[in-house]
Structure 1
Amino acid sequence: MSPQRATVRSRRSSRRVAVVGAAGPAGSAVASALVAAGFAVIAVDDRRGGAPGTWRVGDVAAPGGAALLDGAHVVVHVAAADDLEAALAMTGPQRRAHAVRAARAVGAAARDAGAARLVVVTSAMVHGAAADNPVPLPDDAPVPDDGGAGIVGDLVEVEATLAALAHAAGLPLTVLRPAALVGPGVDSMVTRHFEAPRLLEVRGARAARQFCHVDDLGTAVVTALTAGLDGPLGVGCEGWLDAGQTARLARLRTVELPPALAFGTAERLHRVGVLPMPAAELAFVVHPWVVSSQRLRAAGWVPTRTNADCLTELLALVAGHRAVAGRRVEGREAAAGAAGAAVALLGAAALVRRARARRPGPRRPTL
């Protein structure tokens, strides 16, 4: 082979990117942005989606699944929390095992395929939501060793698993952590927060809401690859919305509760199966976890949507749905006003009694 032909092949292979999880909302947007930027995309998922690229349908974690990444110069594992319904279909331990097994398989397959870079998309939620969080958080803000038993903990484990594999293989690792995702098909604890007739606020909390459109996440991945950025990268709209701005844009009233009532009741509701997520994850709709996107912006990335744009689109996308602090309800429950997080918390005793009445065994004292 002539040196010139070898150089051409090298340039082409360096732009061949495998996107694992390409059928989901975030993965589809990432694949689309890469194709638009001139990358050759291998779209990988256990079901075929609408993203452009060469599709390879299968499970990377299944026997022989590593072959799905053959020929990829870069592997992007999209682990973003954008399908809450699918996540809630599994128990917590099942979901955690599935997430870690997939991450381990992707990392090993990327190594075996001879990839030159590994990219993972998780969420800025891995930093945790806390009243005393800096606003905004820097890209290198710490991530706790244990993110808890919920979806956030799953993402922390995914990052840790891929970091260990990348380090052992000598693979550069890029970690994109988007703010609350918005876009067609996105279903998350944040989007469901806006399916309520009222917005829950916790007394004394400093609300600061930031979003990231999936299209902007896609161009952020392109920027990271083009600029060769390693390490953690926050991805979000410029600035944030406070509680008043959010309520005005959403045209929703708010209900303010004391912290002990809000979190304590949410924990009780989770224990009896009324609410699908641990109470700790309620923090992500009342406390700040805003990111700066400093390194991406320095590399030339500019989001095309503002926080107001994203919230407007989010509200249009969730129209017609009603949820109880993450649990969707329909029919008479929704009509009765049980759909809002605040209403659910205020009506906790009734909901707990209803849940316990359906369970066999001795009755417990009500709240």
Structure 2
Amino acid sequence: MVLGDSPVARGLRAVLGTGGGASGDGTDAAPRDDLLGADAVVVVGQTGDFAAVPTRRVAEQRALAAEQVRSAVAAAARAGVEHVVGISSAMVEGAAPDRQLIDDPDDPDEVHDAHGTGGPTTVADSADGDGAAAAPDSGAAGDLLAFEAALLAAAADHGLARVTVLRPAVLVGPDVDTLLTRHFEAPRILTVRGVRRDWQLVHLDDLGAAVAVAVERRLTGVLTVGAVRDGLPDVLGPDEVVEVSGLRAVDLPAAVAFATAERLHRLGVLPAPASDLACTVYPWTVTSRRLVAAGWSPGWSSRDCLEVLVEQTSGRNGVGGRRVARRDAAALGAAGAAVALLGTAAVWRQARGRR
């Protein structure tokens, strides 16, 4: 049973051929009777619905999400469901210029605290011109860490011993809309000078297959999910990303990129904080080790996924996750802004004023 009515929840139901569904952001509980007889309940934290991300304060937003998770787990426990699967993202493990491969913990009961491995961002550090650094958990990674914590706490409260957290790489699929997929709606791909950013993606079909393997094999703890080839992470280098996407790259110093992004977020121009920028410009490749060992074999390569993503984003224009009209994006580019994520507030206001 997959709870929620988000793009990821709907996609998982289609892949798994299961029931479920509810209004809300993807974590709402279904009625108890709907869960009776289910082998597992899937609670979706990474909803793939960027446009629906609430604008309320972070603390309020996370408190509401935690309550929805607790409600979902409580409903599962009342229905006698023994296995709960949470859909998160590997971005919670953090991204950094020298990031090593993200492996699954050897202890199946261990769920990494991303703050213990550098936090959801190791931005160097994402300080603005005033020297103030962005909170490391202020963005999407922090939201997902809070989701995971709520899921584990609720499962413990209700005595559910079988809990799995799936952390996929960059997720693509029908209607999946995230800050990372919107990175490819920009007129340019932002890169940080001196850093090689390889891209690993995973299709929603393969995430659904991972859920099935985790439930059938009774895998618990953290499982990373990303495209693999011959048992190893399948990644696209910068040149291949440029080739497939048809986009040129714009290369900026890290200090300029993060400081400008943080300033524009504080002005309300960009919807995501600078801390989220790390996951678009720094690597965070996963091994998928335990899933592969259990027999999971993805059907989509990273290149296949990127081709799907490019097709889906064709005709859309975005700056730092905010979709804009084509002429606005053109105005930003003509002004010499780093239109993948950056610019100046003045240029943005001018562009909006000409609409």
Question: Once the 2 structures are TM-superposed, how far is the Cα of residue 59 of structure 1 from its aligned partner?
Answer: 4.3
**2:51 equivalent among 58, 68, 85:** 85
- Distance across 1 between alignment mates of 2:66 and 2:98: 30
Task: In structure 2, give the amino acid aligned to 1:120.
Answer: G
Change (3 A) 1:42 1:160: same
Aligned position for 2:346: 350
- Say whether 1:111 aligns with 2:46: no
Task: In structure 1, give the amino acid aligned to 2:43.
Answer: H
Aligned position for 1:293: 288
Task: In structure 1, give the amino acid aligned to 2:338.
Answer: A
- Distance across 2 between alignment mates of 1:74 and 1:345: 40
Task: In structure 2, give the amino acid aligned to 1:189.
Answer: L
- Say whether 1:20 aligns with 2:17: no
Question: Once the 2 structures are TM-superposed, how far is the Cα of residue 144 of structure 1 from its aligned partner?
Answer: 2.2
- Say whether 1:46 aligns with 2:27: no
- Distance across 1 between alignment mates of 2:14 and 2:263: 42
- Distance across 2 between alignment mates of 1:216 and 1:164: 28
Show CA shifts across 1:155-212 (max 9, x none).
Answer: 1011111112223333210111111111110111111100011110011223021111
Aligned position for 2:29: 60
Task: Give structure 2 stretches of 5+ with no counterpart.
Answer: 106-110, 121-136, 229-233
Question: Once the 2 structures are TM-superposed, how far is the Cα of residue 249 of structure 1 from its aligned partner?
Answer: 1.6
- Distance across 2 between alignment mates of 1:131 and 1:81: 27
Aligned position for 1:190: 180
- Distance across 2 between alignment mates of 1:338 and 1:233: 40
Show CA shifts across 1:71-109 (max 9, x none).
Answer: 434211122140100015555344323321211111222
- Distance across 1 between alignment mates of 2:340 and 2:349: 13
Equivalent residue of 1:347, what SS?
coil
Q: How well do the aligned residues superpose, as a CA RMSD in angstroms?
A: 2.7
The answer to whether the 8 Å contact 1:137/1:292 transfers is yes
Change (3 A) 1:116 1:273: same
- Say whether 1:327 aligns with 2:322: yes
Equivalent residue of 2:177, what SS?
coil
Identity level (%):
46
Change (3 A) 1:107 1:249: same
Equivalent residue of 1:336, what SS?
helix
- Distance across 2 between alignment mates of 1:83 and 1:191: 11
Question: Once the 2 structures are TM-superposed, how far is the Cα of residue 143 of structure 1 from its aligned partner?
Answer: 3.1
Q: Mapping of 1:136-215 within 5 angstroms?
A: 136-140=101-105, 142-145=112-115, 147=120, 148-171=137-160, 172-215=162-205
Task: In structure 2, give the amino acid aligned to 1:231.
Answer: G
Q: TM-score, normalised by structure 2?
A: 0.83
> Which fold has the larger relative contact order, with Cα–Cα distance below 8 Å and residues 6 or more apart in sequence?
2
**1:95 equivalent among 41, 45, 61:** 61
Change (3 A) 1:329 1:93: farther
Question: Once the 2 structures are TM-superposed, how far is the Cα of residue 130 of structure 1 from its aligned partner?
Answer: 1.5
Question: Once the 2 structures are TM-superposed, how far is the Cα of residue 286 of structure 1 from its aligned partner?
Answer: 0.5
Question: Once the 2 structures are TM-superposed, how far is the Cα of residue 42 of structure 1 from its aligned partner?
Answer: 2.9
- Distance across 2 between alignment mates of 1:344 and 1:299: 39
Aligned position for 1:32: 14
Task: In structure 2, give the amino acid aligned to 1:25.
Answer: P
**2:91 equivalent among 125, 128, 133:** 125
- Distance across 1 between alignment mates of 2:246 and 2:58: 34
Equivalent residue of 1:42, what SS?
coil
Equivalent residue of 1:43, what SS?
coil
Q: TM-score, normalised by structure 1?
A: 0.80
**1:237 equivalent among 193, 203, 227:** 227
Name which of structure 1's ranges 75-84 and 259-268 shifts more when overlaid on structure 2: 75-84
- Distance across 2 between alignment mates of 1:29 and 1:344: 28
- Distance across 1 between alignment mates of 2:227 and 2:337: 25
> Larger Cα Rg: Structure 1 or Structure 2?
1
Question: Once the 2 structures are TM-superposed, how far is the Cα of residue 348 of structure 1 from its aligned partner?
Answer: 1.5
The answer to whether the 8 Å contact 2:20/2:34 transfers is no
Equivalent residue of 1:177, what SS?
strand
Equivalent residue of 1:107, what SS?
helix
Change (3 A) 1:242 1:307: same
Change (3 A) 1:187 1:133: same
**1:246 equivalent among 241, 244, 247:** 241
Question: Once the 2 structures are TM-superposed, how far is the Cα of residue 218 of structure 1 from its aligned partner?
Answer: 0.6
- Distance across 2 between alignment mates of 1:284 and 1:341: 21
Equivalent residue of 1:276, what SS?
coil
The answer to whether the 8 Å contact 2:172/2:201 transfers is yes
Show CA shifts across 1:118-152 (max 9, x none).
Answer: 11111111111112221x21012843247512121
Show CA shifts across 1:203-259 (max 9, x none).
Answer: 122302111100111111011111110111111112211222211221211110001
Question: Once the 2 structures are TM-superposed, how far is the Cα of residue 60 of structure 1 from its aligned partner?
Answer: 2.4
- Distance across 1 between alignment mates of 2:79 and 2:337: 46
Equivalent residue of 1:234, what SS?
strand
